[in-house]
Structure 1
Amino acid sequence: MDEISVVRFEHRDDPLGIGEEHPRLSWQVAGRPGWRQAAYELTIGEEFFHVESADSVLVPWPATPLEPREAREVRARVIGADGEVSDWSDPVTVERGLTLNEWQADLIEPAHDERGPAALLRRSFTARGDVVRARLHITAHGIYQAELNGERVGDHTLTPGWTSYRHRLRHQTYDVTPMLRAGENAIGVQVADGWWRGRVGFVPEWRDTYGSSLGLLAQLEIEYTDGRRQVVATDDSWRSATGPIRKADLYEGETYDATRERPGWSSPGYDEREWAGVRRGERDLATLVAPTGPPVRAVEERTAVETITTPSGRTVLDFGQNMVGRLRISVRGRRGSTITMRHAEVLENGELGVRPLRTAEATDRYILRGDLDGECWEPSFTLHGFRYAEVGGDYDDLDAVAVVYHSDMRRTGWFDCSDPMLNQLHENVLWGMRGNFVDIPTDCPQRDERLGWTGDVQVFAPTSSYLYDSAGLLASWLADLSADQTEAGVVPLFVPRVDFPGPFADPAPTAGWSDAAVIVPWVLFQRFGDTGLLRRQYASMRAWVDGLTDLLGPASLFDKPALQLGDWLDPAAPPDAPWRAETDAHLVATAYRVHVADTMARIAEEIGQEADAAKYAELADGVRQAFHDEFVTQNGRIAGSGQTGYALALEFGLLPDPDQRARAAEQLVRLVREKEHKVATGFLGTPVICDALTSAGAVDDAYRMLLQTEYPSWLYPVTMGATTIWERWDSMLPDGSINPGEMTSFNHYALGAVADWMHRVVAGLAPGSPGYRTLLVEPRPGGGLTWARTAHRTPYGLAEVAWERAAGELRVRVTVPTGSTAVVALPGAERQEVGCGQHRFVVPYRDPADDPR
């Protein structure tokens, strides 16, 4: 009989403390080949529901709303078109968190709030009776780590995470029932600066982005077997102090003085007479929200592959992989000795290459207690981007492991092929995403920046949505984007918004970056089938598009403001002016304006806004004509354009005349060949160049570009030993020296957006309809590859495409999950539609790359 998975709620694997009163439900079915769902049944608490529907992804909550704190057990089963009924899924409990009126806690701040050290806050309390349920609801101004009776609560890191704090502050809910004991108990919480008041961004002196004082808001709720309920909340009875963490900063690092530890500080019976009190702070509790995505967690540990002695005599550990995390050390030495750990992504001249960090120190320090049996330590409130760690100090012996951290998203995408360098490129894309999806999607994880640049995630969203279930994380980030828009609808360059002095103090309309407001929700709809997200973000989308129309007019070029980032970091751009790309920045901006208006028309139609759909379609046509009048010649050439302009014109539908389109395609291919298939595009051109070549009938040229190993190319960094995607095509020069440019990150995911083309075209798996309800299986072999395979865990289940070519044949194996169908389009064969199950196809095929040239 068919098997049904455990029910999921919204985009969360852990439904404890969920924020929705009507959470949508999803499940997957492992059915027989050709099986189709005709209905489903749900038990929600004591309620039973029978629904005639083939849907199984984000289906509406049919029961009465969840009340705050209410928990209900949910099970599902499905009924096939043949009438057979599955077994019930395993039960899962969904529990709603607190709402505004349920909070009894006050925000508290340390009475003596020292700059640098993490604050300790604690309170003792008595549990009188047998506990049946206990929940800790908690958040902070800063980042926190809670303990109950001397044990750490949960395994989250850098909580509550980074949001647009003035508008949205996440709170977490933990089940602490097993941690309570009858009688005396104690709760203790450490709070550090984090994004709240610590260093943020590239202005070295920038602090106090959101506030100048640390704060804690916590509410421990205890339910007893006899029905009594007890609340232990933050109030003026709490006590505060500082402890061994003397400095904790996301960019600078952490300093921990073990000689200043306070043993038992979060346990009952601790003497807190020397501790200070607390004062009440201010927080609008209406801004508290439940998380929609996973927390940051430790996800992996790596040991050093080599210990290096540098020319200057320093000891450097090479972990073999550029990553984001921190060291955990086991060390033995004299009391008061200091261990210093410096981090960097690369070596230069045999020494730690720290110049790309700019002003970020990325240095942790541990001052030993002097235990004879040794001591173990890992920082709590910082993360570093690094492959290499320099360890120095006075110690007898020391071991270190690197602990990898990122948002604990479910892995959903895989790729493999016959070319080892392409496999390494894909692995680099994967690690680049892992290092930059740390609560929000950042540009880079190592230097004094680490901001949520909107343009980066705009181009990378299709890839991120394939590799990991990033829907919950990006939905939260989009809520911050909405909150941070200006009154005129302008989207900041980075979200959460930080108003640094200078050009960033007043956000300006920026094509490709501000456009994330429309493009990212559309990508998430295509990949996860979430119409609700489109509706939630629709006001934000309209504010951006309509505000830009008010500024520019309905049928005009996007030529205001004067400075656009354009095809950022095109290889031809001067090092000190990365926006001066080969393709005119206002051409790029106008192309994006057409694309976004077209996308808005499709979104409006999808959610039933017919009048808006017509309005935005008309806007797209008007701007398209303005683009044509300004940039397109009679014979299909595009003025002021390099490869990026042609690629955008072809992919964004800017050339409706078929003759002009054909000539533009010819011109693009000519430009690519003139560059000997080396990359000549930047942040906005790179994600579309291979698709443009493919649609132009030049898939072989796309492969030759993908497989190029000379600079600038995707594989040049691979030849240089890269394990993540670089910000610049030549972040490291051929002689092993670091690019002298100011922006030289070795972990930027934007240029890794090509992995989406690898999934869809090289391996051949794409969404044919929203949420992969229909798969499009259309592999385009080339480049001399003899085989490729990919797998993606869609909302309906695991989909796979694997192909190999041998003896003049292309042999393809396709796995279609239950609930989906697939359209299979193979070279030289008729398209056909197949249902769920495994399918095999064989067609005659010869790769042009095998022919002598």
Structure 2
Amino acid sequence: MIISSLKTNSITNPLGFYLKYISFSWITEQGTSTSTKQVAAKVEVSKTIDFRKLIFDSGKSDEISSLAYTPDFVPEPRTRYFWRVTVWGDKGEEVVSDVAWFETGKMDEPWRGNWITPNIEKECHPIIRKSFELSKEVTSARIYISGVGLYHFEINGTRVGKELFTPGYNAYEFWMQYQTYDITNLLTNGSNAIGVSLGNGWYKGRFGFDGGYHELYGEKFALIAEMIITYADGSSMVIGTDESWKSYISPIEFSGIYDGEIYNANKEIENWSQPYFNDDNWYDVSITEINTEKLQERLSLPVLIKEERKPIDIIHTPAGETVLDFGQNMTGWVRLNVKIPKGEKIILQYGEILQDNCFYRENLRTAKAEYAFISDGTEREIQPHFTFFGFRYVKLIGFSNEIKIGDFTACVIYSDLQETGTIETSNNDVNQLFQNALWGQKGNFLDVPTDCPQRDERMGWTGDAQIFASTACYNMTSSAFYQKFMYDLREEQIRIGGSVPFIVPTIKPENDPGFVTGHGSSAWGDAATIIPWTLYLHYGDKQLLIEQFPIMKDWVDYIRKIDDKSGSKRLWKEGFHFGDWLALDGKDPQGMMGGTDPYYIATAYYYYSTRLVAKVANIIEETELSDEYHALADEIKAAINREYFTQNGRSAINTQTALIVALSMDLVAENKRLRIVEDLKMKLLEDGLHLNTGFVGTPYLCDVLSKNGLNDFAYTLLLNDDFPSWLYAVKMGATTIWERWNSVLPDGSISGTGMNSLNHYAYGSIIEWMYRHMCGINPTEDAPGFKKIRFEPKPNGQLKYAKATLQSASGFIESGWEIKSSNSMTFRFRVPFNTSAEVLLPYANRKIIMLDGKKLIDCSIYSKQEGDNVICELTPGYYVFEYISTREYTLLLTTSSSIKDFLGTNETRDILYQVFPNLTDNPFVLQHIEKPLYELAQVPIVSMFVTEDKLEELKKRLELTAIVK
């Protein structure tokens, strides 16, 4: 057995993070062990790495879960704790983990440093410094530091850490984060110095909706820091920010999240953060009034340069521009080597797309998105400090020397998340779609789950965050990231009566009560219930669910108060709602509001969130609350059926989204579901088997189809590559997910500039369907965190194979399938240590299934026939199933030259119906009967009935007819 991935509160060795409660987790892998299950475990916590000073020992226990274990002790401030776990396997083996640690911050200790602000013009970016002496050997040194807007700092001329954009972006009015750094190895006996540089960031730079606002949270640059240094003799000293610190004007002449940065190397001050620097002519600082009680330990994960990429081409455009193409839309900036004459300026402008083969950035709206560097004549490596860009293309201005592609490197930045999931299929376009969604997550998971990383917005829209949450958790380790977001959401929520803002953190421009400060929309506000539930399913931390339950409950209570004030009708018919945002079925297909009644959507989410609250209350053993909210949910469902459905189950709103929501959220009685399924089927056929859904309908669309016997429809929607579809963007060269289905038109022109991001991850939620249904990896509610896995892959002949891997909270999972012929199937599954799995093999006969080369009925695993499917229960291990399916998997119809000879003839249509009699009564096919055969074959409902054998029969009959004729 091997124990790995030891984490505290979902973070590896966290230093100075906020720890309201402590949760340890780890993964045990089987390795070469014969054990497959954990029968007991022990957790030990010590103040020393050798564990001679134990402060907690759980003892050997069979109740300890690797997903989340909370030790029973109260940590002290500014203390490092070491912990390890011992696991016993079911075959008697025992293994001890490596040592992990976590270190607390100041906790409730008062600050001995003060907030200070430089005595320079407030528009000028400052650098701030302090020299100090250390007279004895240092054994430990920590700095607790924060700044507004953004800061980075140096000790004795060395940049501390690799983090970017500290202290992060959060609801500054209510709480502020500070970071903790171990600076022991940077200090020397004798003279030392610290230097801090400040930038505008979100706090005081231009930021917000509709062009943004200046100084949203404050008008002054400010810094607070406290160094606590421990000597070898046990004594200590504290150096805090006060009026003895000095300030000067930074070489950063401007910085902004939207507009970029201007850096003047001629204003650099050599050795300014070294201890021997003379700062006598520097400006003083003043203590400023920022409440230190709002300061608390960090929750934000570090934002880092996670990847680097080289340009793939240098483009010389028809407009005479020089443009670098990096081949991938991403978030970050370009680092480059320069040697240009003193005083010359170069500019790098950032954009997502070319237009007419020229550089373009009109869709960034008012964001300038450029980095300017003014040279001092020296050769150097340059990059921005306090800004970032969303880009694929970079326009170079002012470069007089030859451009060398090797001098440029794109730095890809996002929060410190590790990739956990992979998907691969036989279709390269589908594979690219997966990569596009993953890159959308990378580009928008920058401390806050933003809507876009490039234009003058980049805000934490709650609707986007909840829509993508499950896909995010499959793709990357997202628990700690979302926990910070939910903390911000809670701080906002408790001040607006349980409602949830459209945007978290909320943009609050002074004296502007308008749209940007709005709250209380369905689907957006339901982030309060959906995200905690999603985190629980994926990571299985019950304590986290307990912590976030008040967020869930208060949101539903907010809706119920509105409902009660309007007569307790159990319908939500008040206020503004985004509805099925950006759906294509509205009065204006190019508009923003979809065609589904927003109050229907609001009430559906009212019901769905109430059910989640009831479910969670039961899990955390709040039985009375569970009963209360179950009863409320029943009332809402009854009201929905009275208002929106006939007695026979017909939906009063005949849109794709209305029908999808009814099925996904279980709005109708079981005996009426088939009616809704059939209506959805016919609605899709009427729409040419193309989606027209928006932000509400799209995430549930394929999931609903695959769960309700329309898996072929789901695959057809996935594989459509004309507008509107996921693969349309892929075919148009997209490398991320677009905001609109037609962000770029077929001729390559952008469809509009008002609201048109080319890196907007919401529609990437299709990836959850690919994990759950195409590849079949599902968590279960009764054993979350993938302690029990439900493998339920749903193959389709339009792909030859599909496979996924997941480094889950419980270990490494694999699931995949391959179609060997039209009905010969192979399935592969990997079940991790200390988990179990239920497998549903579709269209299978238990008697002919082979497992690892043996007949399934002769193997020891439990299996049973259940209709057309076979159910197996698996213990940890790797499994290969092979069998001849009881159905033929569909293949796309291809046309040979002999078929083309008869396009549109009566003989061809007659033969088509002889070979495919199940098409003769299909009204949708009959509408297209006059089409040439090759066009008819592209109609998805036709292709769904085409198998390899039928295709051969069709070809032979057509060839025979040609000969006779």
Superposition TM-score, scaled by structure 1 size: 0.97
| Distance in 2 of aligned mates of 1:139 and 1:584 | 46
| Distance in 2 of aligned mates of 1:317 and 1:609 | 58
User: What is the CA-CA distance between 1:505 and the residue it aligns to?
Assistant: 5.5
| Distance in 2 of aligned mates of 1:719 and 1:243 | 46
3-state SS in 1 of match to 2:172? coil
3-state SS in 1 of match to 2:890? helix
| Distance in 2 of aligned mates of 1:198 and 1:586 | 37
- Higher Cα Rg: structure 1 or 2? 2
3-state SS in 2 of match to 1:105? coil
Q: Relative to structure 2, which stretch is displaced further, 344-353 or 707-716?
A: 344-353
Task: From the superposition, tell whether residues 764 and 6 of structure 1 become closer, same or farther in structure 2 (CA, over 3 Å).
Answer: closer
On the 8 A contact 2:506/2:516 being kept in 1, the answer is: no
Alignment of 1:717-736 (within 5 A): 717-736=729-748
Task: From the superposition, tell whether residues 293 and 580 of structure 1 become closer, same or farther in structure 2 (CA, over 3 Å).
Answer: closer
| Distance in 2 of aligned mates of 1:589 and 1:630 | 13
1:526 is matched with which residue? 537
1:291 is matched with which residue? 298
| Distance in 1 of aligned mates of 2:251 and 2:516 | 37
Pick aligned residue for 1:106 from 83, 106, 114? 114
3-state SS in 2 of match to 1:219? strand
Pick aligned residue for 1:839 from 879, 890, 899? 879
* 1:499 paired to 2:502: no
| Distance in 2 of aligned mates of 1:489 and 1:44 | 38
Task: From the superposition, tell whether residues 453 and 783 of structure 1 become closer, same or farther in structure 2 (CA, over 3 Å).
Answer: farther
1:17 is matched with which residue? 16
1:687 is matched with which residue? 699
User: What is the CA-CA distance between 1:288 and the residue it aligns to?
Assistant: 2.2
* 1:517 paired to 2:528: yes
1:289 is aligned with what amino acid?
Answer: Q
1:157 is matched with which residue? 164
Pick aligned residue for 1:800 from 808, 814, 820? 814
Alignment of 1:604-683 (within 5 A): 604-658=617-671, 660-683=672-695
On the 8 A contact 1:332/1:395 being kept in 2, the answer is: no
User: What is the CA-CA distance between 1:848 and the residue it aligns to?
Assistant: 3.2
Task: From the superposition, tell whether residues 783 and 110 of structure 1 become closer, same or farther in structure 2 (CA, over 3 Å).
Answer: farther
RMSD of the alignment, in Å? 1.7
CA distances 1:563-609 after superposition (whole Å, capped 9, x unpaired) = 32100000233669844312111111111111111111101111111
* 1:781 paired to 2:777: no
2:600 is aligned with what amino acid?
Answer: L
Task: From the superposition, tell whether residues 55 and 780 of structure 1 become closer, same or farther in structure 2 (CA, over 3 Å).
Answer: farther
1:219 is matched with which residue? 226
Alignment of 1:811-850 (within 5 A): 811-827=826-842, 828=844, 829-845=869-885, 846-850=887-891
Pick aligned residue for 2:400 from 377, 395, 399? 395
Pick aligned residue for 1:587 from 584, 597, 600? 600
2:284 is aligned with what amino acid?
Answer: G
| Distance in 1 of aligned mates of 2:613 and 2:415 | 30
* 1:557 paired to 2:562: no
* 1:765 paired to 2:765: no
User: What is the CA-CA distance between 1:43 and the residue it aligns to?
Assistant: 2.8
| Distance in 2 of aligned mates of 1:57 and 1:353 | 51
On the 8 A contact 1:765/1:801 being kept in 2, the answer is: yes
2:544 is aligned with what amino acid?
Answer: L
2:584 is matched with which residue? 571
User: What is the CA-CA distance between 1:695 and the residue it aligns to?
Assistant: 1.9
1:635 is aligned with what amino acid?
Answer: N
3-state SS in 1 of match to 2:332? strand
* 1:169 paired to 2:176: yes
1:339 is matched with which residue? 346
On the 8 A contact 1:110/1:278 being kept in 2, the answer is: yes
Pick aligned residue for 2:149 from 142, 145, 148? 142
Pick aligned residue for 1:235 from 236, 242, 255? 242
User: What is the CA-CA distance between 1:274 and the residue it aligns to?
Assistant: 2.1
Q: Relative to structure 2, which stretch is displaced further, 817-826 or 201-210?
A: 201-210
Q: Which runs of 5+ in 1 are unaligned?
A: none
On the 8 A contact 1:760/1:778 being kept in 2, the answer is: yes
User: What is the CA-CA distance between 1:6 and the residue it aligns to?
Assistant: 5.3
User: What is the CA-CA distance between 1:292 and the residue it aligns to?
Assistant: 3.4
User: What is the CA-CA distance between 1:741 and the residue it aligns to?
Assistant: 5.0
CA distances 1:416-449 after superposition (whole Å, capped 9, x unpaired) = 1111000000000000000000001000110011
Identify which of structures 1 and 2 has the higher relative contact order when contacts are C-alpha pairs closer than 8 Å and 6+ apart: 1
* 1:328 paired to 2:335: yes
Q: Relative to structure 2, which stretch is displaced further, 640-649 or 317-326?
A: 640-649
2:489 is matched with which residue? 481
Alignment of 1:42-441 (within 5 A): 42-45=43-46, 46-47=53-54, 48-53=57-62, 55-62=64-71, 64-86=73-95, 88-115=96-123, 117-204=124-211, 206-371=213-378, 374-398=379-403, 399-441=407-449
- Number of aligned positions between the proteins: 846
CA distances 1:701-746 after superposition (whole Å, capped 9, x unpaired) = 0100010001010000000000000000000011111112511110
User: What is the CA-CA distance between 1:90 and the residue it aligns to?
Assistant: 1.5
2:50 is matched with which residue? none
Alignment of 1:459-470 (within 5 A): 459-470=467-478
Task: From the superposition, tell whether residues 847 and 151 of structure 1 become closer, same or farther in structure 2 (CA, over 3 Å).
Answer: farther
3-state SS in 2 of match to 1:771? coil
Task: From the superposition, tell whether residues 291 and 633 of structure 1 become closer, same or farther in structure 2 (CA, over 3 Å).
Answer: same
| Distance in 2 of aligned mates of 1:805 and 1:291 | 50
Task: From the superposition, tell whether residues 255 and 505 of structure 1 become closer, same or farther in structure 2 (CA, over 3 Å).
Answer: closer
User: What is the CA-CA distance between 1:794 and the residue it aligns to?
Assistant: 1.0
CA distances 1:623-664 after superposition (whole Å, capped 9, x unpaired) = 111111111123322112310000000010101141x21011
3-state SS in 1 of match to 2:269? coil
| Distance in 1 of aligned mates of 2:329 and 2:152 | 27
User: What is the CA-CA distance between 1:787 and the residue it aligns to?
Assistant: 1.1
3-state SS in 2 of match to 1:171? strand
Superposition TM-score, scaled by structure 2 size: 0.86
On the 8 A contact 1:303/1:400 being kept in 2, the answer is: yes
2:923 is matched with which residue? none
| Distance in 2 of aligned mates of 1:459 and 1:822 | 27
Pick aligned residue for 1:753 from 754, 765, 773? 765
3-state SS in 2 of match to 1:38? strand
1:41 is aligned with what amino acid?
Answer: K
Q: Relative to structure 2, which stretch is displaced further, 604-613 or 706-715?
A: 604-613
User: What is the CA-CA distance between 1:491 and the residue it aligns to?
Assistant: 0.5
| Distance in 1 of aligned mates of 2:90 and 2:303 | 42
On the 8 A contact 1:555/1:626 being kept in 2, the answer is: yes
1:797 is aligned with what amino acid?
Answer: G
3-state SS in 1 of match to 2:147? strand
2:812 is aligned with what amino acid?
Answer: L
On the 8 A contact 1:704/1:783 being kept in 2, the answer is: no
| Distance in 2 of aligned mates of 1:631 and 1:502 | 34
User: What is the CA-CA distance between 1:297 and the residue it aligns to?
Assistant: 0.1
User: What is the CA-CA distance between 1:102 and the residue it aligns to?
Assistant: 4.5
